[in-house]
Chain A
Amino acid sequence: MTRRRLLGGGLAAAGLLLTRPAHALGPSSKFRFGQLKLGPASAPRPNALRRLGWEIEKRTSIDVDLEPANVAPTADTLHETPFLYLAGEREIELPSAAGIEALRRFLTFGGFLLIDSAEGSTDGAFDGSVRKLMAAVFPTTGSTKGLEIIPSDHVVYKSFYLLDKPAGRLSIAPAMEGVIRDGRLVAAYIANDLGGAWSRDDFGNYEFRCEPGGERQRELAFRMGVNLVMYALCLDYKADQVHVPFIMKRRRWKPDDGALTPTPTPPSPPKPPTNKP
């Protein structure tokens, strides 16, 4: 070992011992939910996102800002929270044309919208208004689809936990619906009241019982929430992981010819000057 390497190693060791950690470079560095507000209706599960955020903070490496931001479609701050959460238990007011266009841009350029129905029905007023909203934001034209069933082999079901269906406080919707654009799930709609499963009161007690699966179902609801956030932040990362070994193998860079790597010839020293008379 050379003296330089020894000194370098010592400095590095000192650096490790005295690493000066930081906690995010600013609010924008943290993950923060955006609570989408449409009309005067208030969020049915006001504590849900904070509780989910807390779980995400504890279970994953994601740095979470626990306080959700309330945003309207036409707000200037819409694009500061790329993950939007829209929950409801009754009919919602559709945004204006400008709001629809703003939502379309938000989702097209990388935003994600999670719609959570708390009305306990798969064909209620909230469900109807959600379908109208999605039809307005993503009109079905030709081959482009609106809301469609998201199959259970979609990467959103394995982005962190391995799941097969979207459990919530209820289990009335067997599948998640969503809108896919350019191969990306831009909006997900789950009618099982995820927020109801996540929500706790100020004393830490869960506010609603999960039926019919009880606490196991609640756990699965949290896992679904984690997966949705993880998908929004990583996209199809988990699907790619399956292919990594093959990609690595295809891109063979290391020679395997059994040859030796000889020592390079050092450059010849300059010839001494010859003294000429």
Chain B
Amino acid sequence: MNIVLFPSLVRYALAATCLVLMVATVLAVRRGKGGLGAALGVLSLLSGGALAAEALVALTVRLAAPGATEFNEYRWVMLAPWGRLGLALGGGAVIAIVALSWRASRGAPAWRRATMIGLRAGAAVGALVVFLEPAVELRQVAREPNRIAVLIDDSKSMALSESTTGPTRIERARQLLTASGGALAAWEANHKVDYYTFSETISPTSLAALASNQAQGKATLFRKALELVRARYEGRDLAGVVMISDGVSTGGFTEDSGDGAMRDFLRSLETRVHTVWAARKGLKDIAVAKVMADEFAFVRTVVRIDAVIRTTGLPARQVPVTLSTDGQPLRQKMVDFPGGDHDVTVTFEVTPPRVGRYVYEVSVPIAPNEAVTSNNTRSFVIRVIRDKIRVLQVAGQPGWDVRSLRQMLKSNSNVDLISFFILRTQDDISLVPNDEMSLIPFPTRELFEHQLPSFDLIILQDFEYLPYGIGDYLENIRSYVEGGGGLVMLGGAASFTSGGYYGTPVAAALPVELYGPFDSGPVVDTQKFSPQLTEAGQMHPVTSLRYSADDNVAAWKTLPQLEGVNLVASVKPEGTVLAQHPRLRTKAGKPMPVIIAAEYGKGRSLAVTTDTLWKWGFGAAARPGDNGRQYTKFWENAMSWLIQDPVLRNLHVDSDAVEYGPNAPVRVTVRLLGRDYQPLAGGVVSLTVRRGADPSSAEEVSAAKLAVGEDGTVVHELGGLAPGVYRIEGHAAIAGRQVDANDIFLVREGGSELDRPVGDAATLESIAKASGGQALGAVDTLPSDLAFDPPRIVRVDRRTDVELWSRPGLLLLIIGLLGLEWLLRQRSGYL
């Protein structure tokens, strides 16, 4: 066992320094610079003395421990109890002795002075050794090999290939390990190599098992993989990590955590991570990378949807980006993409027409030779709610019915009302300058062309359209109702037949047939009357002033009389008469309808053929104890029904979430209410589940007949659903009448692994850099000299201590040096 005090380089440096200083000393002395010569001489001797000391130590150990060759390690120990303080004091004493010697030898010839100082310094160092009692501990030790963890990414993106003929990334990783047999063998000399695959988690593997790995992991979680590796080797000696991946990260390793946080994490691993990039350039892909839309939106209000379209490796092109729902395209934009890799944000705006859930889909067409096609579409759910009921009240003239309705609507905090009243007609006298009047033009075009779809409900009240030139817009009103809007026409001298609506598009949306121009007879009746509820009206949501039918009929009988009705020819087949005139008959002999409801297209319409409903409010309030509440109740009912308020549905079908992961359980709650809106215990509901964005082509995946419990509800569980859009349709019969309900939910693809398939070398480089490892990049073989931490765990088989301070030779050396120094001093005349 050879003891070395200095590395080879230092040793050579000391020898060279000794020689150079010696020559410099000679030159300084010849030039008469005695002081400088002495100093250089002292330094030269100190350099040489250091080398001599090392040789002496080695010699001493060799002599003291003849079997030292069996030892393979040594270390210095200090037997004196002085510690670092003693070492510092001793060192200071040596320096002081040298300094004093320098001062005391002033005037002596340079060579002699240097020699005296050198001798005294040597003796002082010898004394210091005795003082500190140093020893060399010789040990025979053996080291345990530590571990190298090789992590191979087996997420789905590793199954991609950059070209149609080239290897996949996982194949490239396999080839790399196969070609690196020599390097792996070299690593095995001092380390043991463990192999793992990683995606959502890590799994031990082997080179043999890797050969059949198909790379199907649903995510690439770098941080989690490294954390798991670190945890796996907790308390064990980890030499380093080699990570082979395409760098495609899910879970936001580089996005969510800032650079600082990532560096802190990687440093906390306390091991270096070398990275190898398994991907190559050249991948072609176009993807809907991200969709940003609010989860909630308001009905009939524009909702903004931002979609990030990402192109990779494709030439410059124009791409149609389409927003769809129910399998039908809603909006489309042609977007120009430059060649190469680009992200472009495309903004769509849509207006949900009704309350409910909507599944939208943003899609781009598949490009030639595209690596991943599953990321060309992205679906998402928007829940559409109502902020306020938006009502447009258009009245042909001010009147008490108009005023009462406006006052009621204005006092309802859930209603956002816009009224337009015709205050002056073309027939009225106008002798007053316009600037002395507060009248404004009737904004027909703005209302009936531009703003119509923004309303939930349109009320036409004694409004004759002809004088205001809105005949061209009546079709808009009809299509508005057909598309899901609500329409009320109230009676009056300018309503229904007498309003000229016969044959107009608005008449098509009404639930009654009007008298034509060639029909004879009156079109209005002016007598007082009390409307009678029909059988349908007794329980209909619009006319239900009380919960039970009997109470409701009784409540209607207490209502003040009305006065005058518009006469109609008949009720349309789809119309439901809720209240009728007690005496008047249609030409067909049926009771003259007063309140009639109907569904038209996706919307609803209500006809009330009188203009004196205000008597149910203000008129009723003449009676002590009656606050006219029935008027408000009637209109609240009517509004809820007209806007198709979900509260008024008899059948409810609701999934417990709007989005699910693959194979996640789906709980569907079915609630069935009777005509009186009380739970319909024992009622049977047919439930059908279909899969597909387009309802016309959705395939049935499940069907069941469910009996609801005492509380009118039953929960139906679905499971094992593949990704896609699902529609639940419920059907039931209540007193012979069919009621329906539906819901929609989305089962997502598992993870976002292929959202961004292009290989990302930068992520791997940042991991390697922050952990102190090496980013090897796109290599074909692993280097055998890759830096790993040496094994730290040792086993000591034998040990012995060699004390240097207690050697007799050391004492003789000190005495000899001091004697020589004394002799020189004497001969120099310093004693």
Interface set of A (CB-CB < 8 Å, partner B): 8, 11-12, 14-29, 31, 58-63, 76, 78-80, 82, 102, 105-106, 108-111, 158-162, 184, 223, 230, 232-238, 240-241, 244, 247-248, 251-265, 267-268
Contact = CB atoms under 8 A, between A and B. Distances in A.
Given A63-B399, A251-B454, A252-B301, A235 B348 contact: no
B697 A61 contact: no
B498 A230 contact: no
Contacts of B425: 61
Nearest to B390: A251
21 contacts: A20-B497, A22-B493, A22-B523, A22-B566, A26-B526, A26-B528, A59-B428, A59-B429, A61-B424, A62-B397, A79-B619, A108-B621, A109-B621, A161-B432, A235-B407, A248-B446, A252-B454, A257-B347, A259-B349, A265-B328, A268-B696
Contacts of A110: 403-404, 407, 617-618, 621
A160 B437 contact: yes
Nearest to A258: B333
A22 to B, nearest CB: 4
A262 B332 contact: yes
Contacts of B621: 79, 105-106, 108-110
Contacts of A256: 302, 349
Contacts of B410: 235-236
B323 interface: yes
A254 B466 CA distance: 27
B677 to A, nearest CB: 29
Nearest to B565: A25
A255 B351 contact: yes
A19 B465 CA distance: 12
A159 B440 CA distance: 11
Nearest to B327: A265
A63 B250 CA distance: 72
B402 interface: yes
Contact of A233 (B304, B402, B429, B615): B402
Contacts of A61: 396-398, 422-425, 428
Contacts of B413: none
A172 B101 CA distance: 125
Interface in B420-439: 421-425, 428-430, 432, 435-439
Interface string B38-64: 000000000000000000000000000
Interface string B138-151: 00000000000000
B668 to A, nearest CB: 27
Nearest to A101: B624
Interface stretch (B124-132, B502-510, B535-543, B580-588): B502-510
A27 B561 CA distance: 13
Interface stretch (B269-277, B512-520, B764-772): B512-520
A82 B406 CA distance: 15
B451 interface: yes
Given A25-B563, A29-B564, A265-B327, 14 more contacts: A16-B466, A22-B498, A28-B563, A29-B401, A62-B397, A105-B624, A111-B618, A161-B436, A230-B423, A233-B398, A234-B398, A235-B410, A255-B349, A264-B329
A184 B402 CA distance: 16
B376 interface: no
A14 B435 CA distance: 39
B403 A233 contact: yes
A253 B436 contact: no
B763 interface: no
A14 to B, nearest CB: 5
B500 interface: yes
Most buried by B among A26, A234, A244, A248: A26
A80 B446 contact: no
A112 B689 CA distance: 59
A31 B401 CA distance: 11
A154 to B, nearest CB: 13
Interface residues of B, number: 98
B500 A265 contact: no
Contact of B302 (A58, A109, A254): A254
A255 B331 contact: yes
Given A29-B612, A63-B399, A20 B404 contact: no
B503 A161 contact: no
B332 A234 contact: no
B400 interface: yes
Cβ-closest 6 pairs across A and B: A25-B564, A18-B517, A26-B564, A11-B503, A255-B349, A109-B621
Interface in B739-781: none
B800 interface: no
Given A25-B611, A233-B399, A251-B454, A264 B328 contact: yes
A27 B338 CA distance: 74
B350 A105 contact: no
B501 interface: yes
A12 B504 contact: yes
Contacts of A11: 502-503, 516
A93 B32 CA distance: 142
Contacts of A237: 406, 419, 421
B760 to A, nearest CB: 32
B500 A19 contact: yes
A159 B622 contact: no
Contact of A162 (B399, B436, B453): B436
A102 B400 CA distance: 19
Given A20-B515, A25-B611, A61-B423, A31 B696 contact: no
Contacts of A105: 621-622, 624
A161 B419 CA distance: 19
B302 A261 contact: no
Contacts of A259: 323, 331-333, 348-349
B416 interface: yes
A76 B322 CA distance: 66
A8 B503 CA distance: 6
Contacts of A233: 398-400, 402-403
A255 to B, nearest CB: 4
B330 interface: yes
Interface in B288-318: 300-302, 304
A223 B430 CA distance: 12
B34 interface: no
B556 to A, nearest CB: 19
Given A25-B610, A110-B618, A252-B301, A257 B348 contact: yes
Contacts of A8: 503, 505
B450 interface: yes
Nearest to A264: B328
B628 interface: yes
B211 interface: no
Contacts of B516: 11, 14-15
B492 interface: yes
A263 to B, nearest CB: 8
B492 A262 contact: no
Contacts of A268: 696-697
Contacts of B406: 234-235, 237
Nearest to A32: B400
B628 A109 contact: yes
Nearest to B506: A12
A27 B517 contact: no
B502 A15 contact: yes
A108 B528 CA distance: 26
Nearest to B505: A8
A242 B498 CA distance: 32
A62 B397 CA distance: 6
Interface in B589-642: 610-612, 615, 617-619, 621-622, 624, 627-628
B403 to A, nearest CB: 5
B611 A29 contact: yes
B566 A25 contact: yes
Given A22-B523, A257-B348, A257-B349, A15 B500 contact: yes
Contacts of A76: 622
Contacts of B497: 20
B96 interface: no
